[in-house]
Structure 1
Amino acid sequence: MKHGLGLGVAAIFAATTAFAEAVEPTDVVFVDGAVEMSLSGQPGDPAAGAEVMNKGAGNCIACHEVSDLDHLPFQGEIGPALDGVADRWSVAELRGIVANAKIMFPESRMPSFYKTVGFIRLGDAYTGKAHGDGEVQPLLTAQQIEDVVAYLVTLKED
C-alpha cells in the first residue's frame, strides 16, 4: 500500500511541475540580487544552456571567457571569466545575475536578460529606431535562464 501511495504522490508532483507556469519578468522576486525560485518551474538543461551561452540568444561568450567552451572563438574579456563560477555563487545568485545582473551589481554592463520594463531609450531590435507599440519581450525566456544557470553550475574549479 505504501508503494502505491508513493507512486501517486510522485505522479501528482510530476503533473504539477509539468504544467508550472513561468514567472513573468515583472513578478521576479530578488533578495539581495538572488532569485530563489525557478523562473520556468522546470529544471534547466545544461546542454541547452551552453548553446544559449554560445552565439545564441544570450551570446554570453561575447563578454565572458569560458574554458569549457574553448572550441568557440572570439571569447570576450569585458566580463569576468566564468570558470569556477559555481564555486563563487549559489544557484539562486546565478539565477539573479543572469536574469538581471544590475540588481546585484548596479554598475554592471551586463544586459538584463529577463526584464521588460524600466528601459531608457529602448530600441527596436537592431533597426536604429525607437521601440514601437506592443510589449517588450525579455532577451531570454524563463526556460533559457534556467538552462544557462544549469550550465553555469557545472563550471567548478578543478
Structure 2
Amino acid sequence: MTLRWPALLLAALPALAPAQALAPYAVVGDAITAPLGGKQGDAARGRAIVANRQLGLCLLCHSAPMAEERFQGDLAPTLAGAGARWNAGQLRLRLVDPQRLMPGSLMPAYYRVDGLQQVGAAWRGKPLLDAQQIEDVVAYLVTLKD
C-alpha cells in the first residue's frame, strides 16, 4: 500500500481555515509558469514557512541550508540548490501537485484539493498552503542556488 500522507505529517498539521476558492492555474509541461493568483512571493516569508514545523513541515522530510534548525529530515532531497535545479514554475508545480511529476511521492499536494487519498475530514477541500504561501515558498526556494 502506498501512503500519500504519512500519519506523522497529518498528526502535526493544524486544523485549517474554512475552504476557500483556489486560484486557477495551468500546468505547462513540468511547470506552473504563472504565479498563483498573480501574487508575488516574499523569500523571507517563504523561508519562515519552510522552517515552521506546524505550517510547512518541509524540514520533516527535507534538509535545508538553515544551520539554526535542528533535526532536519533526510527522507527527501535536500532543498539546498533547489533554485539551481528548478525554475520558479517547476518548483511551484512540485509544491502544488508533486504526484503529477512523481507518482507515489510521499510529499503532500500543498495546494491541490481534489483526487487526494487518505485525507482527514478536517482537511478535505482545503489547501495546506494558500496561494500567497505557495508563492512565498517558491520565492525562497529559487534563492537556493548552492
Quick check: TM above 0.5?
yes
Partner of 2:22: 24
> Does structure 1 residue 63 correspond to structure 2 residue 61?
yes
Please give the alpha-carbon distance, in whole angstroms, between the structure 2 residues aligned to 1:122 and 1:95. Answer: 22
Q: Indicate if the aligned counterparts of 2:43 and 2:139 stay in contact, CA closer than 8 A.
A: yes
Secondary structure class of the residue paired with 1:92: helix
1:116 shift after superposition: 1.3
TM-score normalised by length of structure 1: 0.73
Aligned to 2:131: 142
Task: Name the residue aligned to 2:96.
Answer: 99
Q: Could you give the per-residue CA deviations for residues 90-109 of structure 1, whole angstroms, max 9, x where no partner exists?
A: 11101111111111111211
Uncovered stretches (5+) of structure 1, i.e. residues with no partner: 1-22, 126-130
Structure 2: 5+ residue stretches without partners: 1-20
Offset at 1:56? 4.1
SS at match of 1:151: helix
TM-score, length-scaled by structure 2? 0.79
> C-alpha separation between the residues in 1 aligned to 2:143 and 2:121?
35
Instruction: Calculate the aligned-residue CA RMSD, in Å.
Output: 1.9
Number of the residue aligned with 1:51: 48
Q: 1:60 offset after TM fit, Å? A: 0.5
Residue 121 of structure 1: CA displacement?
3.3
In 1, the alpha carbon distance for the partners of 2:33 and 2:117 equals: 28
Name the % identity. Answer: 38
Contact 1:83/1:155 (8 A) holds in 2: yes
Equivalent residue number for residue 106 of structure 2 = 109
Which structure has the greater CA radius of gyration?
A: 1
Cα distance in 2 for partners of 1:58, 1:136 equals 18
